[in-house]
Amino acid sequence: MKKLNLKYVIVVLAATVSFSSCIDDLNVTPINPQVTQTFLQDDVFAKVYASFSHTGQEGPAGKGDIEGLDEGRFSLVRCLWNCNELTTDEAICSWGDAEVVDLNKNSWTPNTQAFDGLYARLYFVVTISNHFLEQTVGMTDEKTIKQRAEVRFLRAMAYYYLMDNFGNVPFIDIITDVAPQQIKRKDLFYWIENELKTIEPELYEPRQGPYYRIDKAGCWLLLARLYLNGEVYTAVPASTGVAAIAGQTFWNEAAIYSHKVITSTYALSPVFKHLFMGDNAGVIDGSSVNTASQEIIFPFPADGIKTTSWGSSLFLIASTHTSGMDDWGTSEGWGGNRLRQTVTKAFFPSTILVSNKKDLTTGLTSSYKDDRALIYGYTDRTLSIPNIGKFKEGYSAIKFSNVRADGGLSHDVKFVDMDYPFMRKAEAYLIYAEAVLRGGAKVEGYEALTAMNELRTRAKAKLYTTVVLADILTERVREFFMEGYRRTDLIRFNKFGGATGYTWEWKGGEQAGKDFPVEYNLFPLPTNDLNANPNLDQNPGY
């Protein structure tokens, strides 16, 4: 991989098409920064959005945005998902790629390439956002004000994931050839908070903007997520001669902003599995059956003809399926990612009581019924995983599919139409419940129990009569398994790195599970950037 030398990153981009309420081809062409060019505002704006789910200039692959990165293997979605799922008690992968082996067994190093990919992709978003904002400074027309607010949100979200995964990171908000300084995680937390609050008034009202673009509800949800994890992000670890400083809690703020999302015009999709199907954009996909778009706050677009990628929705669908399983809507079935036991046991703590083990949503009693148990545990699967390299050891996730809810045909036999529902309203209910249970003030008398049972009702699951904090972590497995939340959740609940008293199969590289260092709650800064930027210090433990 080419070094991600931020000292020399100057990106000037012009896109070939625009991004509107309908999906269009999001290809862009890189331009020599030494040559004077016309700034194409709408097209660079489109590229900022596209960079979260797409990787280059020629559809699924070709003329990659970052030299030396395999576009399918090291897309932003795939890197983010791998780092935050394979490292946890939810997912494990049978492939022998070096970074996959490292993540499966919690044995990563600063040279693990998944970190290079995630870091580079996120800084690509930061850099083109900075370029757009520099080129539009001082513009006061209504369109530009909206675009600038959205780009600032996307940049803040990129910094959120840099902060969450890497801690103290290089910070840069202008285009320059000067090596950036390293910002403290706590300071970046407050920068993100301020940025999101500043842009909030300028964003579209919930569900009033074009689909695929961010609005106030997305801003509220990211703030709620930020506050929920604020105690982690604002803590200062011990260093030589200096004691650790505990982080500040923000339970009231997490409750307030999650409640804003709950009371917004977004609504839960009546059918859970519709959220992850090929027509989940509803009317945009020509579907009058699938209403998932009323819940999805920020989707990453996919279209089998117009908007294709190896490393986004197709990765999620193809990597979890293989021959012999029921139709999943694409010819691609790579047989890699499947479930560790934690997920299945969240639905079935003891005996797996179902009428059809090809679909564990078919619970036989009200105690076990749950429409979210989109798990394949047929007779050729084993619950335990003696051999990581065998896909059929471990139950399979059938959560992601390119099959349409309306029974229609997808656009392509290979590339998929399922938009990745990156942010959805359901998260707000669990943030709210957790914040209140941790001590946050109830908003307008809304109960944590009520919030939890909203999701249980949608899933046709047995309702809680009382709820405690430990229920939250399990409920987050049921609602969000394989969606990339788990590492952050485990850290917040003190169940990831360190002497936690909590293990899972293959944690720390042993099938029985063992602890790994608490310093692994942060990933290391990539060696390439440490070598390129003398202003950076590596995270402790590496």
Domain with residue 191: its CATH number is 1.25.40.390
CB 147 within 8 A of CB 45: yes
pLDDT value for 3: 34
User: What radius of gyration, in Å, describes the C-alpha atoms of the chain?
Assistant: 22
Asked if the structure places residue 68 within a domain, the reply is yes
pLDDT value for 111: 95
340-369: per-residue pLDDT in tens?
999 999 999 988 989 899 999 998 888 899
Q: How distant, in Å, are the alpha carbons of 135, 264, 308 from that of 138?
A: 9, 32, 35
User: What is residue 270's three-state secondary structure?
Assistant: coil
The alpha-helical segments, DSSP class H, found in 98-228 are 98-104, 113-135, 142-166, 185-199, 216-228
pLDDT value for 57: 73
- Minimum mean pLDDT among 48-52, 309-313, 412-416, 438-442: which range? 309-313
Task: Give the residue numbers spanning the domain of 24.
Answer: 6-239
Q: What number of helices (H) and strands (E) belong to the chain?
A: 16, 10
314, 299, 295, 291: which is closest to 417 by C-alpha?
314
Query: Which DSSP symbol is given to 4?
Result: -
- Minimum mean pLDDT among 39-48, 122-131, 240-249, 416-425: which range? 240-249
153-162: per-residue pLDDT in tens?
999 999 999 9
Asked if the structure places residue 108 within a domain, the reply is yes
> At 241, is the pLDDT very low, low, confident or very high (cuts 50, 70, 90)?
low
pLDDT value for 1: 31
Asked if the structure places residue 268 within a domain, the reply is no
> At 243, is the pLDDT very low, low, confident or very high (cuts 50, 70, 90)?
confident
Instruction: Please state, rounded to an integer, the average pLDDT across all residues of the chain.
Output: 91
Q: How distant, in Å, are the alpha carbons of 45, 87, 99, 102 from that of 106?
A: 37, 6, 10, 6
431, 438, 490, 427: which is closest to 249 by C-alpha?
438
- Minimum mean pLDDT among 132-146, 204-218, 354-368: which range? 354-368
**How many domains in the chain?**
1
pTM across the whole model: 0.93
Residue 420: CB atoms within 10 Å: 27
Asked if the structure places residue 97 within a domain, the reply is yes
CB 404 within 8 A of CB 279: yes
- The predicted model gives 188-217 an average pLDDT of 98
- The predicted model gives 239-250 an average pLDDT of 83
Residue with tokens 């939890």: 452
In whole angstroms, give the CA distance from residue 43 to residue 438.
44
pLDDT value for 66: 82
pLDDT value for 61: 67
258-289: per-residue pLDDT in tens?
999 999 999 999 999 999 999 999 999 999 99
In whole angstroms, give the CA distance from residue 78 to residue 57.
18
160-176: per-residue pLDDT in tens?
999 999 999 999 999 98
56-79: per-residue pLDDT in tens?
776 776 677 888 777 778 899 999
User: What is residue 396's three-state secondary structure?
Assistant: strand
pLDDT value for 466: 98
pLDDT value for 24: 35
Q: Which helix (H) or strand (E) holds 420?
A: strand 420-424
What is the number of alpha carbons within 13 Å of residue 189 lying toward its C-beta? Answer: 24
Asked if the structure places residue 125 within a domain, the reply is yes
Asked if the structure places residue 17 within a domain, the reply is yes
pLDDT value for 308: 87
Q: What is the 3-state secondary structure (H, E, C) of 220-263?
A: HHHHHHHHHCHHHHCCECCECCECCECCCCCHHHHHHHHHHHHC
pLDDT value for 403: 98
pLDDT value for 166: 98
Q: State the Cα angle at 86 between 81 and 90, rounded to 5°.
A: 100
Flag whether pLDDT at 387 surpasses 80. Answer: yes
Residue 40: CB atoms within 10 Å: 18
DSSP string, 345-381: HHH-SSS--BS-TT-TT-BSSTTT--TT--EE--TT-
Residue 109: CB atoms within 10 Å: 10
In whole angstroms, give the CA distance from residue 73 to residue 76.
9
- The predicted model gives 387-407 an average pLDDT of 98
93-120: per-residue pLDDT in tens?
999 999 999 999 999 999 999 999 999 9
3-32: per-residue pLDDT in tens?
333 332 333 333 322 222 223 333 334 434
Asked if the structure places residue 341 within a domain, the reply is no
In whole angstroms, give the CA distance from residue 203 to residue 217.
9
pLDDT value for 25: 30
455-507: per-residue pLDDT in tens?
999 999 999 999 999 999 999 999 999 999 999 999 999 999 999 999 999 99
> At 54, is the pLDDT very low, low, confident or very high (cuts 50, 70, 90)?
confident
